[in-house]
Structure 1
Amino acid sequence: MPNLIKKFAPPSLKGISMTLGLSCALFSASSHALTVYTAGPGAMAKQLAAGYEQQTSVKVDVFQATTGKVMARLEAEQANPRADVLISASWDTAVDLQKKDWLLAYESPNAAQVPARFKTPYYVAQGISALGIVWNTKSGTPKPAEWSDLTKPAFQNKVTMPDPALSGASLDLVLGLENARKAETWKLFTDLKANGMVISGPNAQALTPVLQGAKAAVFGAVDYVAYSGIARGESIEVIFPESGTAIAPRPMMILKSSQQQAEAKAFIDYVLSPEGQAIVAASWLMPARTDVQGKRPDFSMLKILPEVTPDSAERNDVLSRFNAIFR
């Protein structure tokens, strides 16, 4: 693994100052806090909020949880909206909210270096993760190479998986596999269930028993969490099956109901600045900008399953079918 993790060099101060794109009006103190709802790394969210506050003097209130919990809170507050900016772990979240006409159109000047597939006039990727097998190298099990390897007797009762109902990225993998393999996908999950794979809540909860040695592997782990563990000296390895995997761009969007739209636009600018993208990279995500160096393999090095953007009804059908196997 060490040869896959690239050395990370922070951007120059000159580059930061030239590309922040923040509104000058925001550099004065503001009495209004910006509210950001985000799935994903809590430490990264705090760093981005702190960096933005330092640049603008605008306070940021962050609510960080799983995609499922973030979306449930957003739905519950529709009579009295609080969120200004939403960052999800699932691209489909943004697609659905745009269809509902909940989003404010905004194209940040700092998105110029973001590939077209990761941006629209209404939302843009903060960063990108990929889904893989995370294997405990001291588990005494053979190194898996494919998803189906985890159905073998050596992995009986030794595999976990994040819950697709709680993890948007995990659901993206299920959708990608179903789109590519149809009936074979459901046979795979049936075989995994028969081999004792357990659904273990959100991503960190699925990874913990593998780190502790109680389990041997995670099926469909969000890779940035595992890379962070490797950097801390954990005995795990991230494996991307050659048959293909899913990537999960993390969309940022501004809610049309926001009363702090100028501040929200400036926050998007900051996250997409070289400084903001350096924070994203330091959290072991792939930066959204192609001109910012990451610390791990990027999506160009992976075989990606055919992308699909199902509507909410189709996603619910796939999730119901998955739950029928594991519940």
Structure 2
Amino acid sequence: MIFTSAMMINDASALTVYTAGPGSLAKKLATGYEKQTGVKVNIFQATTGKVMARLEAEQANPIADVLISASWDTAEELQQRGWLLPYTSANAATIPDSLKSDSYVAQGISALGIVWDTKSGTPEPKEWADLTTPAFKDKVTTPDPSLSGASLDLLTGLQNGMGDAAWQLFGKLKNNGMVIGGPNAQALTPVLQGAKAAVFGAVDYVSYGSIQDGEAIKVIFPASGTVVAPRPMMILKSTQHAADAKAFVDYVLSPEGQELVANAWLMPARADIGAKRPLLSELKILPENSEGSSDRAAILQRFGKLFAAQ
């Protein structure tokens, strides 16, 4: 079952999974796993920031068995802390080496792009900088990087790829009236409602789902480059259900589980499973962060100061 942040997870016999959206995918994976194994699954689904805050708060009495984050940096940090149980699933054989380690593996991958309202009367943007033009004055939103790990990944990737020019871009976006709109779905809402024309750095799978529902929006990946956000899945060392947790990871990485991932408009982690959207080979990927979490913290702080006047 799906639990909101206001609900408690107290079934000691069940497997507990903490996940940063999409909630519908988590529910389907839990249902499929339960049918296959008979093991019940409790799910806490929220933004990466809220999931991590809950995990930190429960250090003295850990509850989560499996964690699925929207930011690769989360897994690297928890591995450095010694919080993770090493496990390599047999179903990870076709997953690229860059998307797995001894202690965590990608569940799936999203990418960051521009989401544009095709009925907004604005010219179709092709590049990030197009959103700094007069046509998009006061018409752009962006997810809050303090709440969205993927949004912070984009800021980091742009800095790594562009250097100081990235901060000139962010400054121009601020001066052009771009507003920080909360988590990913919240940043998209004004565009769906017609109040804004575009999202800078939207997580693609949310928008693909909206397009399927009939919304007049388009996902655009700038040719100059973007970042992808692998969603790391890991088992907490504190788990009291290690065998069930490993079996859950196996299920998510099975063909059945990866098809569910693909149906949620994510790129499957497995290279032998198709997708309903562009794959890694079709995107120009900006350099990954290699400076560690302290560099990301500095980027987040600098971006926050830039937009503090809002």
TM-score of the pair, normalised by structure 2: 0.95
Q: Which residue of 1 aligns with 2:294?
A: 313
Return the offset for 1:312. 2.1
Q: Which residue of 2 aligns with 1:219?
A: 200
Return the offset for 1:310. 3.2
The separation in 2 between residues aligned to 1:315 and 1:290, in whole angstroms, is 29
Q: Which residue of 2 aligns with 1:62?
A: 43
Q: Is the 8 A contact 1:129 1:222 kept in 2?
A: yes
Q: How does 1:117-196 map to 2 (within 5 A)?
A: 117-196=98-177
Return the offset for 1:31. 7.5
The separation in 2 between residues aligned to 1:292 and 1:90, in whole angstroms, is 22
Q: Which residue of 2 aligns with 1:27?
A: none
Q: Which residue of 1 aligns with 2:7?
A: none
The separation in 2 between residues aligned to 1:232 and 1:107, in whole angstroms, is 37
* Residue number among 183, 187, 190 corresponding to 1:206 in the alignment: 187
- Which consecutive segments of 4 or more residues in structure 1 shift more than 3 A? none
Runs of 5+ in structure 2 lacking a partner? Answer: 1-10
Return the offset for 1:180. 1.1
Q: How does 1:22-61 map to 2 (within 5 A)?
A: 32-61=13-42
Secondary structure of 1:201's counterpart equals coil
The separation in 2 between residues aligned to 1:31 and 1:195, in whole angstroms, is 52
* Residue number among 236, 246, 250 corresponding to 2:231 in the alignment: 250
The separation in 2 between residues aligned to 1:169 and 1:230, in whole angstroms, is 20
Q: Which residue of 2 aligns with 1:90?
A: 71
Return the offset for 1:320. 0.2
Structure 2 residue 260 is matched with structure 1 residue 279: yes
* Residue number among 282, 286, 295 corresponding to 2:276 in the alignment: 295
Q: Deviations over 1:173-194 (max 9, x none)?
A: 0000011111111111111000
Return the offset for 1:235. 0.3
Secondary structure of 2:29's counterpart equals helix
The separation in 1 between residues aligned to 2:155 and 2:52, in whole angstroms, is 19
The separation in 2 between residues aligned to 1:310 and 1:199, in whole angstroms, is 25
Matched-pair identity in %: 69
For 1:169, the aligned partner's letter is A
Q: Deviations over 1:119-169 (max 9, x none)?
A: 001000000000000000000000000000000000000000000000010
Return the offset for 1:315. 1.2
Q: How does 1:70-89 map to 2 (within 5 A)?
A: 70-89=51-70
Aligned length: 298
Secondary structure of 2:116's counterpart equals strand
Q: Which residue of 2 aligns with 1:263?
A: 244
Q: Is the 8 A contact 1:92 1:309 kept in 2?
A: no
The separation in 2 between residues aligned to 1:231 and 1:193, in whole angstroms, is 31
Q: Deviations over 1:69-123 (max 9, x none)?
A: 0000000100100000000000010000000000000000000011111000100
Secondary structure of 1:70's counterpart equals helix
Q: Which residue of 2 aligns with 1:19?
A: none
The separation in 2 between residues aligned to 1:220 and 1:80, in whole angstroms, is 36
The separation in 2 between residues aligned to 1:96 and 1:59, in whole angstroms, is 29
Return the offset for 1:306. 1.0
For 1:138, the aligned partner's letter is K
The separation in 1 between residues aligned to 2:12 and 2:297, in whole angstroms, is 41
What's the RMSD between the two structures over aligned residues?
1.0
Q: Which residue of 2 aligns with 1:10?
A: none
For 1:153, the aligned partner's letter is P
The separation in 2 between residues aligned to 1:160 and 1:309, in whole angstroms, is 28
Return the offset for 1:309. 3.6
Q: Is the 8 A contact 1:129 1:224 kept in 2?
A: yes
The separation in 2 between residues aligned to 1:67 and 1:31, in whole angstroms, is 24
